[in-house]
Structure 1
Amino acid sequence: MIRFDNVTKTYMRGQHPAVENLDIEFTRGEFVFLVGASGSGKSTMMRMVLKETGPTRGTVYVAGKDLSRIPSWKVPALRRDIGMVFQDFRLLPSKTAYQNIEFALAVIGTPRKVVRRLVPEMLEMVGLEDKGKRLPHELSGGEQQRVAIARAYVNRPSILLADEPTGNLDPSTAEGILDLLGEINERGTTVVMATHDHSAVDRMRRRVVEMVGGQVVRDQEGGRYESETPVSVISGNLPDDSAHREEHPLDAAEYREPAERTERTEPEDDSAADVLEEELIDERDARLERDEAAFDEEDEDEEDRR
C-alpha cells in the first residue's frame, strides 16, 4: 500500500537529511504507529505520501504507483484516496459539523443526492448524529476530532494518515478516538498514526515503527511505546541531544540490532523541522481557504438558480 524504496530527503544543501536510506513498507489493512522525538522524520514521511514534497533520492510508492511519475494535475485524484487527520482538527470555523463533512464531498463534485446520504452516515458512525448543526466552537475537543475524522473518511480512502490526533485530548476522550480509528482500520483502511501518546500505543499493541534522526531504529509487531532498543530516544536510552549522538554515532556496531532495516546517521536539525512544519501548516491552510471560497461561491450560484 505504501512503500519507501531507499528514500532520502534533504530539504537544504548541507543539512542532515530529514529521512535517510529509508526502506519500509506498510501493507494494505495495517494499523501502524510512527513514534520518535520531534524532528525524527515522521512528518516528512507523511508529506511524501501526500506528495506535498518528493524524495531527494529513492522512490515512494502509494497503492502501487510511483509518485515521481504522477504529474501535478493528477495529485488531487491521488489525495482523494488518502484521508488526513490533524492534532488541531483544522475544521472550517464558520461551517457546521454537517457542512464540514459535506465540504470534503463537494470539492470533488459529489452529487448532492449522494452527499445527503453519506454525511448523516458519517455523523452516525462517529457518534454525532444529533450534533450536525453545531459549529466547531460549540463542540468539545473530542467531538471536533470526530468531525475531522468523519471528514477524512467520508470518501472511503484506502489510506488514513493521522498526525497526533489525540495530542490535544484528555485520556478518556483519546481512547474514544483510538477506538474510532481502530473501527476504520477494521473496515479495510490502512491507518498510519504519528504520535507521542504512550498510552495509545501501549493500549492498541499494533505495529510500531520508531524513527531516530530520519532512520528506522525499530519495527516491531504488537509493540509498546517505549523500547529496550539502545538507540531509542523516546525511551531515554539515548538522550535527545545531537552532541551526544555525535559522540556515539548511530551506525556504530554496538548500537546495531540484528533485525534493523537501515543504516544509521545523525538526526536532522530540530529547528529546521519546526520551520518546515509551520510552512506546511500555512500551505495547507491557504489551500483550504481557496477550496472553501470555491465551495461558498458554488452554493451562492445554486441559490441564484433557485
Structure 2
Amino acid sequence: MIRFDDVTKTYMRGQNPAVENLDIEFARGEFVFLVGASGSGKSTLMRMVLKETAPTSGTVHVAGKDLSRIPSWRVPALRRDIGMVFQDFRLLPSKTAYQNIEFALAVIGTPRKVVRRLVPEMLEMVGLEDKGRRLPHELSGGEQQRVAIARAYVNRPSILLADEPTGNLDPSTAEGILDLLAEINDRGTTVVMATHDRTAVDRMRRRVVEMVAGRVVRDDAHGTYESVAPESVISGNLPDGAEDLDAQALADPETDHRDSTDDAQRSPDDRPGRQAGGSHRVPHDGDDLLDERDAHLREEDEAFAEDLHDPESAR
C-alpha cells in the first residue's frame, strides 16, 4: 500500500537529511503509529506520501504507483484516495458540520443525490447525527475532530493519514477518537498516525514505528510507546539532540509547510518562521501538511458558499 525504497530527503544542501535511507512498507489495512521526538522525520514521511515533496533519492510507492512517475496533473486524483486529519481540525468556521463534510464532496463534483446520502451516513458513523446544523464553535473539541474525520473519510479513501489527531483533546475524548480511527481501519482503510500520545499507543498495541533523525530505529508489530531499543529518544535511551530536521522544509522550493505536530512542542521563539521583531507565520496559513481537499476548502470557500444547498431543507 505504501512503500519507501532507500528514500533520502534533504531539504538544504550541506545539512542533515530529514529522512535517510528509509526502507519501510505499510501494508493494506494496517494501523501504524509513527512516534519520535521533534524533527525525527515523521511529517516529511507523510508529505512524501501525499506527493507534497519528492525524495532526493529513492522511490516512494503509494497504492502500487511509483510517485516519481505521476505527472503533476494527476496528483489531485491521487490525493482523493488519501484522507488527512489534523491536530487543529481545519474546519470551515462559517459552515455547519453537515456543510463541512458536504463541501469535501462538492469540490470534486459529487452529484447532490449522492451527497445527500453520504453526509448523513458519515454524521451517523461519527456519532453526530443530531448535530449536523451546528457550527464548529458550537461543538466541543472532540466533536470538531469527529467532523474532521468524517470529512477526511467521506470519499472512502484507502489511506488515512492522521497528524497528532488527539493532541488537543482530553484523555477521555482522545480515547473516543482512537476508537473511531480503529473502526475506520476495521473497514479496510490503512491508517498511519503520527503521535506523541503515549496513552493511545499503549492502549491500542498496534504496529509502532519510531524515527530518530530521519531513520527508523524501531519497528514493533504490537508495540508500546516506550522501548528498550538503545537508539530510542522518546524512551530516554538516547539523548534528544534537539535537532529539528523537519524545519528545513521551510527552505524547500516545493513546499513551505511545517511539521504541525512537532512545531506545537516548541516555544514560540524557537519555531521556524519566527522573524525579527517578533512576527511569525501562523500555522493555519498553510505552513502545515496540506491535502488537496483542505486546499480547496480554504481557497474556494466563498466561491462555493452560495452554490451549496441548505442540507436541512433536503431532509
Taking structure 2 as the reference length, what is the TM-score of the superposition? 0.84
Post-superposition CA distance 1:71-124 (Å, at most 9, x none): 111111001100000000000111000000001100110000000000000000
1:292 maps to which residue?
301
Q: Using the TM superposition, give the Cα deviation of residue 270 of structure 1 relative to its aligned residue in structure 2, in angstroms.
A: 6.1
Deviates more, 1:6-15 or 1:124-133: 6-15
Q: Using the TM superposition, give the Cα deviation of residue 276 of structure 1 relative to its aligned residue in structure 2, in angstroms.
A: 4.4
**Structure 2 stretches of 5 or more lacking a match?**
251-255, 259-282, 310-315
Structure 1 residues 9 and 270: CA distance shift in structure 2, 3 A: closer
1:35 maps to which residue?
35
Is residue 61–residue 67 contact of structure 1 (8 Å, CA) maintained in 2? yes
Q: Secondary structure at the match of 1:167?
A: coil
Question: Which one-letter code corresponds to 2:234 in the other structure?
Answer: I
Distance 2:306 2:6 in 1: 44
Is residue 16–residue 268 contact of structure 1 (8 Å, CA) maintained in 2? no
Q: Using the TM superposition, give the Cα deviation of residue 40 of structure 1 relative to its aligned residue in structure 2, in angstroms.
A: 0.2
Q: Using the TM superposition, give the Cα deviation of residue 269 of structure 1 relative to its aligned residue in structure 2, in angstroms.
A: 3.6
1:18 maps to which residue?
18
* 1:263-278 → structure 2 map (5 Å cutoff): 269=245, 271-272=247-248, 276-277=257-258, 278=283
Is residue 12–residue 248 contact of structure 2 (8 Å, CA) maintained in 1? no
The structure in which a higher percent of residues are helix is 1
Q: Secondary structure at the match of 2:28?
A: coil
Length, aligned pairs only: 276
* 1:69-218 → structure 2 map (5 Å cutoff): 69-218=69-218
Post-superposition CA distance 1:39-74 (Å, at most 9, x none): 000000000001111101010000000011111111
Q: Secondary structure at the match of 2:8?
A: strand
Q: Using the TM superposition, give the Cα deviation of residue 12 of structure 1 relative to its aligned residue in structure 2, in angstroms.
A: 1.1
Distance 1:27 1:198 in 2: 23
Give yes or no for the alignment of 1:281 onto 2:257.
Answer: no
Give % identity: 82
Question: Which one-letter code corresponds to 2:221 in the other structure?
Answer: E
Question: Which one-letter code corresponds to 2:298 in the other structure?
Answer: E
Taking structure 1 as the reference length, what is the TM-score of the superposition? 0.86
Distance 2:245 2:95 in 1: 38
Q: Using the TM superposition, give the Cα deviation of residue 241 of structure 1 relative to its aligned residue in structure 2, in angstroms.
A: 1.7
Q: Secondary structure at the match of 1:280?
A: coil
Distance 2:295 2:187 in 1: 32
Q: Secondary structure at the match of 1:281?
A: coil
Is residue 83–residue 157 contact of structure 1 (8 Å, CA) maintained in 2? yes
* Structure number with larger C-alpha Rg: 1
Question: Which one-letter code corresponds to 2:216 in the other structure?
Answer: V
In the TM superposition, structure 1's runs of 4+ consecutive aligned residues that sit over 3 Å from their partners are 267-276, 282-288, 297-300
Q: Using the TM superposition, give the Cα deviation of residue 281 of structure 1 relative to its aligned residue in structure 2, in angstroms.
A: 2.7
Question: Which one-letter code corresponds to 1:141 in the other structure?
Answer: G
Distance 2:140 2:28 in 1: 33
